[in-house]
Chain A
Amino acid sequence: KQEVTQIPAALSVPEGENLVLNCSFTDSAIYNLQWFRQDPGKGLTSLLLIQSSQREQTSGRLNASLDKSSGRSTLYIAASQPGDSATYLCAVRRYNNDMRFGAGTRLTVKP
């Protein structure tokens, strides 16, 4: 069974700092990995999708990497802003359409 873990559970940083969020998974036979943002009481917004054949994806200040063999992905946020404050979740899709989420990292960026 696929298990997805996100570390740290919570993170507080001053504005302008670069930061890394971690996601690990136990079964490397994945189809893709997706990073989401969730604001309190809201649905999930897709940030980046990495296919199993890819090593990284970039969008603006966000960069996500994938190392399938070691079961790890990182989300790098450059020059953090207070508006980046949210919970960040990673989700792993297997070839049978099974989707597993991590519990998320709650990020606070202080002005």
Chain B
Amino acid sequence: DAMVIQNPRYQVTQFGKPVTLSCSQTLNHNVMYWYQQKSSQAPKLLFHYYDKDFNNEADTPDNFQSRRPNTSFCFLDIRSPGLGDAAMYLCATSGWGTYEQYFGPGTRLTVT
């Protein structure tokens, strides 16, 4: 089945130690999104790619970076994780036409 896959599902990292989360999709969608969701809060858009064009939200900290090497894959890099970066990170895609969003299962990040 076509889907959005996130790895790992759970990630534990140490304070200040760089970490990379990955997302892949088999939907061939041209738009990919990264969201941060903290407990009982709305998902917050960090950035998105429209094809290869990178769009950063104005309030996304510089500590967060992203790469999209091809249509299928997108990575979220957190350069120096702080305790406040512990959250669920959600990847989503959408494609030409309806632009309906499809979400992956998320990666739960813990910072120790």
User: Smallest CB–CB gap between A85 and chain B, Å?
Assistant: 15
* Complex-state Cα separation, A103 to B43, whole angstroms: 8
Task: Report which of B31, B90, B98 forms a contact with A44, defined as CB distance below 8 A.
Answer: B90
B99 touches A32 (CB 8 A): yes
Number of interface residues of B (CB under 8 A): 26
Per-position binary interface string of chain B over residues 6-36, scored 1 when its CB falls under 8 Å from any chain A CB and 0 otherwise: 1000000000000000000000000101000
Number of interface residues of A (CB under 8 A): 24
Residues of A within 8 A of B41 (CB): 103
Main secondary structure of the interface of B (DSSP, over half): strand
With contacts A97-B48, A97-B55 known, is A46 near B100, CB below 8 A? Answer: yes
One of B60-68, B74-82, B102-110 at the interface: B102-110
Main secondary structure of the interface of A (DSSP, over half): strand
Residues of A within 8 A of B33 (CB): 99
Chain B contacts to A: CB under 8 angstroms: 6, 31, 33, 40-45, 48, 50, 55, 88, 90, 92, 94, 98-106, 108
